[in-house]
Amino acid sequence: MGNVAAAVALVLTMTAGVACAATPCPPGTFDPQLSRTDGLPLAGGASANGAFTVDAASITMGGCGAAPLHVRARRHLTYLHAVWPACPGFGRVRYQGWSNYPPCKALVSVLRWRDVATNRRRAFKFESLRRGAP
């Protein structure tokens, strides 16, 4: 009788974990909440205000272009990670971002790169809002 109760408890625990499957945030365009984007990898490219686009498998940002995007969805957060091996004027640029789910309106991001002139590491943290979000 004790083995049956343990087996039922195990099955219920396993099915409860499946029921809470995480869903990543949908693709969209995000506008950084910055007064200026010059001197950052966000500047340049087709977007004058530094907006960047997150798709299901890639991220497009400023003069760096597109890079493969790794998405990890958790129950209440979506984590994003991308690397541009060679971004013009910045060298290798790494991107890390996270957003709460739902509603995925805001995205907190960190850009990291090594300054090509001084060879010093640089990091910049900023928040972006989804374009078209109320």
Rounded CA gap, 39 and 29, in Å?
A: 21
pLDDT at 17: 46
Residue that has been written with the tokens 């943290």 in this structure: 125
Low-confidence ranges of the chain (pLDDT < 70): 1-21, 46-48, 133-134
- Give the pLDDT score at 102: 75
Contacts 24+ apart (CB under 8 A), 48-51: 51/131
Rg of the chain over Cα atoms, rounded to whole angstroms, equals 20
Look at residue 69 in the predicted model and tell me its pLDDT.
Answer: 96
Phi, psi of 12 (to 5 degrees): -65, -40
CA distance 107 to 50: 14
